[in-house]
Amino acid sequence: MKQNVKKLLSLLISILIVLGFSAILEQRRTDPLEKMLSAMTLREKAAQMMVASFRVWKEVPEAEDAEQTAEEPPAVNITELNEEIRGLVSRNHFGGILLFGENFQDAEQTLRLIAELQSTNRSGGGLPQVFFVDQEGGNVNRISYGTLGVSNMALAATGDPANARIMAAIQGEELGLLGIQANFAPVVDINNNPSNPVIGIRSFSDDPLTAAEYGCAYLNGLHDAGIAAALKHFPGHGNTDTDSHTGFPVINSSYDELKDCELVPFKAAIDAGADLVMTAHIQYPQIETETCTSITTGEKVFLPATMSRTILTDILRGDLGFKGVIVSDALDMAAISENFSIEDTLRLAVNAGVDLLILPPVKDTKAFRLTERCVDTLAALVESGEVDEARLNESVLRILKLKQKYGVLELKDFSVTEEKIAAAKDGIGSAAHRDTEWHVAGKALTLVKNENAAFPVQLKPGDKTLILFADSCASRAGAGDLVRTMLEEAQALPDGAEILVMKNTRENEAECVEAALKADHVILVNRVYAVACLDPATEDGFSTGSFDAIIDAVHAKGAAVIVVSCQLPYDAARFPEADAILLTYWGSMMRQLPAESGTWSANLPEGLLACFGLYETDGRLPVNIPELDEQYRPTDRVLYARMP
């Protein structure tokens, strides 16, 4: 009897298992995304994994040995589609489009460009595309007429993660008004190398927990606005002294070291619901040991994170549990293009686990032809067996899920209405958004030094104040003119008080010293965007030598000098003799007094106004400022400590 019962139970269990598997298979067959995937050709799957971008149109000969014309063909920013691009988009159903600064003129033009790209793609039978942009806030902004934000490092300097969420929500709202669904932000790299030439103020901090807290807040702000967020650059681009746009960085950290530092904000933001993670074109030889031969140098190079299955599949997906879309950084960057053929790039990246490939942008007709070739190449790699079609299926399904989540698949009507145009014009770069930006920038202002009651200046009737811009920030000198105008309009200048704005050059060093000696108050504005800017012997840093001379000369007559930093804060260590040092964490280009409708960053103008006592300086230093050695290079000794 017992044996019969056991057999019966065993039979029932077998039936239930079979029914369960059948139900799962049936669900997969009826799932709308699975249906979309199964209906795609191999070439359509390949194109769905690619993000194209069209920046500049310039005719160049197709053949390498073609005769060059005497007159260089004009380069035209792509703000509307030509017939060639229309054909490319309608033939190749790219999964997404990445927009750059060249694509943005004003709100109406952008709306029409995006609508034309979407409708052209749909007319060729493609699924609606995801539109991407790098609108990080701070010094990486593509939409020149929008709210620029204040830089991630400035957000952390405010001491309140709510400011990161608020600014991200503003960025997201403005993107949504244009029909852009995804932002390649936030940067959650930890700027733990002061010599880093590319991350800098794009990072929140050199502290993992701070970067995690503010990165999650920024992520949530984009999600509040209905915009997909992408963490970058995995597994960390902060601890490099090489820019992957121009070189091939190496980070010699072990996996345990990454887990204790660089991976902390990535893990936190993944747990908070990040939709995309962007890869870093960086070598990690202690983690990925496989090598290839560089196509330009012939030397052995390690596979970068973008091509490392260990880093992307084992660590990012396995250990960190990321289930979203892995997107490569741009494949035209020197770290990739100078070391790998396009065939090897596509093969290695896809096999490593990349879902979305950011194709080299179209800057001329040669790059235009490469864009279409990439689709054919990936399809051919599958047909030859070098890439498994199952890998494409995994990636395309993730991309479709992303499109479904953000309503992209439901898009049908791409007409540009007067209502859409009016909403975009009213909302993008609005007064309310700029007021918030101004408020947040003020909260970030950090006074790291103030001796001899130098800060703020105490203006008396007839006083003369010199605001002198280093050559490295001469393009920001319009901020000085703006501040002078704002002080006049606020009636904050005593009778007869004057403000002189100058730019320091190699030709006018003596004139600058003379102007400083004649002034009652001296404010020096400096900009460091690379460690070379700290060395007066370099082209980028020669103004620091002029500033040294000015500080000495002004002190000799018994007056004080304020130094205002308008990008990386590490110049705080460069001027130890300055009486006061104020950090603003960014200043956008402003060559002249901006037009009424023009956009500019609030950081530097507000910092200069604070020098005259109009704003408080309650910001908290989000990174350690190291001492410099005799060659003006950062040391391991901390001069100004990060504030909790």
Write the CATH number for 618: 3.40.50.1700
Check whether 608 has a pLDDT greater than 90.
yes
Is residue 114 in some structural domain? no
pLDDT in tens, 85-125: 999 999 999 999 999 999 999 999 999 999 999 999 998 88
Same domain, 599 and 501: yes
Torsions phi, psi for 381 (to 5 deg): -65, -35
Whether 552 and 564 have beta carbons less than 8 Å apart is answered as no
Is residue 5 predicted with pLDDT exceeding 60? no
Task: Over range 12-18, report the average pLDDT.
Answer: 58
- Note the helical H segments in 302-364: 309, 334-337, 342-352
* Assigned token pair, 568: 């990386």
Average pLDDT of 289-302? 96
Q: Are residues 412 and 452 in the same domain?
A: no
Range of the domain at 596: 445-640
Q: How many domains does the chain contain in total?
A: 2
Q: Which of 160, 251, 150 is nearest to 599 (CA)?
A: 150
Q: Positive or negative CA dihedral for 147, 211, 221, 616?
A: negative
Q: Which of 241, 245, 344, 364 is catalytic?
A: 245
108-167 pLDDT, tens per residue?
Answer: 999 999 999 999 999 888 999 999 999 999 999 999 899 999 999 999 999 999 999 999
Cα–Cα dist 127/131, whole Å: 13
- Is 406 in the same domain as 449? no
- 322-333 pLDDT, tens digit per residue, is 999 999 999 999
Residue 46: inside a domain: no
Residues 402 and 466 grouped into a single domain: no
- Residue 329 annotated among the catalytic residues of the structure: yes
The closest of 143, 147, 122 to 134, measured between CA atoms, is 143
CA angle 40, 43, 47 (to 5 degrees): 95
Place of tokens 């500033």: 547
Q: What's the pLDDT tens digit per position in 369-416? A: 999 999 999 999 999 999 999 999 999 999 999 999 999 999 999 999
Does residue 451 sit in the same domain as residue 416?
Answer: no
> What is the rounded CA–CA span in Å between residue 583 and residue 607?
8
Q: How many CB atoms lie within 10 A of CB 365?
A: 16
Residues 282 and 399 in one domain: yes
Spatial CA neighbour of 279 closest among 220, 349, 180: 349
- Answer whether residue 360 is part of any domain: no
What mean pLDDT, rounded, does the chain reach? 93
pLDDT at 25 over 60: no
**Does an H or E element contain 167, and which?**
helix 161-178
Cis peptide before 233 (omega within 30 of 0): yes
**505 and 384, same domain (yes or no):** no
Q: Which amino acid is at 384?
A: S
Q: How many CB atoms lie within 10 A of CB 494?
A: 12
Q: Which of 406, 432, 401 is nearest to 222 (CA)?
A: 406
CA dist., res. 532 & res. 570, Å (int): 12
Cβ atoms of 569 and 533 closer than 8 Å? no
Confidence of residue 26 (pLDDT cuts 50, 70, 90): very low
Q: Cα(591)–Cα(242) distance, rounded to whole angstroms?
A: 29
Burial track 413-436 (b if 16+ CB lie within 10 A, e otherwise): ebebeeebbeebbebbbbeebbeb
The residue with tokens 């686990």 is: 353
H-assigned helices in 76-160:
83-91, 107-123, 152-157
486/5: higher pLDDT: 486
> Which tokens sit at 392?
């494409």
> Is position 429 within any domain?
no
Directed axis angle between helix 161-178 and helix 418-427, to 10°? 150
With a cut of 60, say whether residue 29 has pLDDT above it. Answer: no
pLDDT at 223 over 80: yes
| 519 and 408 fall within a common domain | no
Partners of 638 in the β-ladder: 626
pLDDT value, residue 71: 72
User: Is residue 334 located within the same domain as residue 466?
Assistant: no
pTM for the predicted model, two decimal places: 0.93
Q: Within 13 Å, how many C-alpha atoms sit on residue 102's CB side?
A: 15
pLDDT recorded at residue 591: 83
Is residue 644 exposed (0-12), middle (13-18) or buried (19+ Cβ within 10 Å)?
Answer: exposed
Rg of the chain (C-alpha set): 27
- Judge whether 10 lies within some domain: no
Closest to 499 in 3D by CA, of 600, 578, 434, 593: 593
Residue 389 lies in a domain: yes
Q: Which of 275, 329, 471, 535 is catalytic?
A: 329
In this structure, what token pair is assigned to residue 281? 């074109």
Both 469 and 409 in one domain: the answer is no
Q: Is 245 a catalytic residue?
A: yes
Question: Residue 270 maps to which CATH number?
Answer: 3.20.20.300
